[in-house]
Chains A and B, each alone.
Chain A
């Protein structure tokens, strides 16, 4: 029987390897969405924060509450903003619309 940490080390090494392989295929075009996307995924520490916040130990609850808040910001905000970016990455017909008064207003906001 393998001890826990050796088993976890296997998982870590293999996941890093998979991550490196998958991510090296991401084109530079999508590097910002990649960054915000992995950030949302690493918001999985929400899982650990939930366990800390859901105990009957006052300090753990308080710290857990802040951690849940932070991790939720990353999960919700991370996926939201990544999707917002990805929606913009589209192939457009070669003659892009010239009129753009509205988008100028958008740029100033």
Chain B
């Protein structure tokens, strides 16, 4: 190794250590920003070190890419509203996947005569996983932003086709290891990655997006890892492994929070329940429930000593987080104790609700996880459900035939009274009937959550 190469390797080692420290900083909100700074420093060291690398002959394309990328990067990050965060994250996974995939293609086109079997295999995986992450994330983005229909799209033999596509790609990569010059096979692998990304995300419904986003995060990391193996670059392997294990851990946590196995999320097409929506809508029309006016709801809140707020995706949709905070502040001014209960899968990505409430200036020591708060409902006067549905559905506990049976949910029904802010009485996205809405101590306040909350704020302040 030349001294310059040793120096570069040491730069990468330092960067890897800084990346790990960066993630360690995220173990608490106080240390997180300092940790992130270490991560940025590591990235700077790695990039500057690489730019001085002897293999780089010309800088014009590099400079153009860096400038263009920075501009777009700042553009989609500096001003994007926090409610759009799931879309933003999905989009960045697609960029990560595309970058890995294109590097794989470039490497193959340039080096095809000199590829060792191992390197060929790694390039195959890199390209396949990269393109799969790319189109899969684009699909997730489309579903989250409403461009693609959010409901699961299913057809006969779907799983068979997807699994078949996956294994034929593996076989093709194996073939390439032996016959590296078969470029049409290489492009077939790339094409099957692109196709599988679309096909695999199509059948997955909006409520399962937290798992899908985490899983795509993991794939993007694995693609970077494969790049590292192909180029024998340890920094890529380490960073890719960090990203991959983070995504894997998050997907496991999300699946657990829904009491569903990985396989079930990937192949189950949750929320499909073909016969359920029709019947439940009829039932909803017929069944009596307590519809409350804003005044009634305000009276309940004013009388309460303790209130727990349960936010859900509906809060994000109507951008009601600031109104929620205002209501909490108005109640606290009256001496009411207000806490927030955050379910791991509330919203469309891990931590979605936490970010929105943090944006609205809610102190993080008032946000409680499922396990931390679930015993408190029994001695709570009022629960305010803002656009959450499945996470407060008692059917998860007592109806074995419900699709969400077994999912850990909040013990909302134990509270003295429950206020539910909801757009209408129609069954939620998953099409699962929610018994909570028909209980005698539940009051339904129908309408846009933000408008209702603002009206409640002025009522409570009086």
Contacts and interface: CB of A to CB of B under 8 A. Distances in A.
A26 B69 contact: no
Interface residues of B, number: 125
Contacts of A50: 47, 50-51, 53, 56, 62
A34 B361 contact: no
B244 A19 contact: yes
A49 B99 contact: yes
User: Looking at chain A's contact residues, is the secondary structure mostly helix, strand, loop, or mixed?
Assistant: helix
A42 B26 contact: no
B236 interface: yes
Nearest to A23: B246
Contacts, number: 403
A37 to B, nearest CB: 6
Interface of B: 15-16, 19-20, 22-24, 26-29, 32-33, 36, 39-40, 43, 46-47, 50-51, 53, 55-59, 61-62, 64-66, 68-70, 72-74, 76-83, 85, 88-89, 92-93, 95-96, 98-100, 102-103, 105-107, 109-110, 118, 213-214, 217, 220-221, 223-225, 227-229, 231-250, 253, 319, 321-323, 325-326, 328-330, 332-333, 342, 344, 349-352, 354-355, 358-365, 367, 369
* Max chain A C-beta neighbours (<10 A), residue from B68, B69, B238, B351: B69
B356 to A, nearest CB: 9
Contacts of A95: 329, 332-333
A87 B77 CA distance: 14
Given A74-B73, A76-B69, A39 B227 contact: no
Interface size on A, as a range, is 35 or more
B61 A61 contact: yes
Contacts of A73: 69-70, 72-73, 76, 92, 95
B88 A81 contact: yes
The 3 closest A-B pairs by CB, nearest first: A72-B69, A68-B65, A31-B351
B352 A32 contact: yes
Contacts of A38: 23, 217, 221, 242-243, 246-247
Given A41-B39, A74-B95, A22 B20 contact: yes
Contacts of A84: 77-78
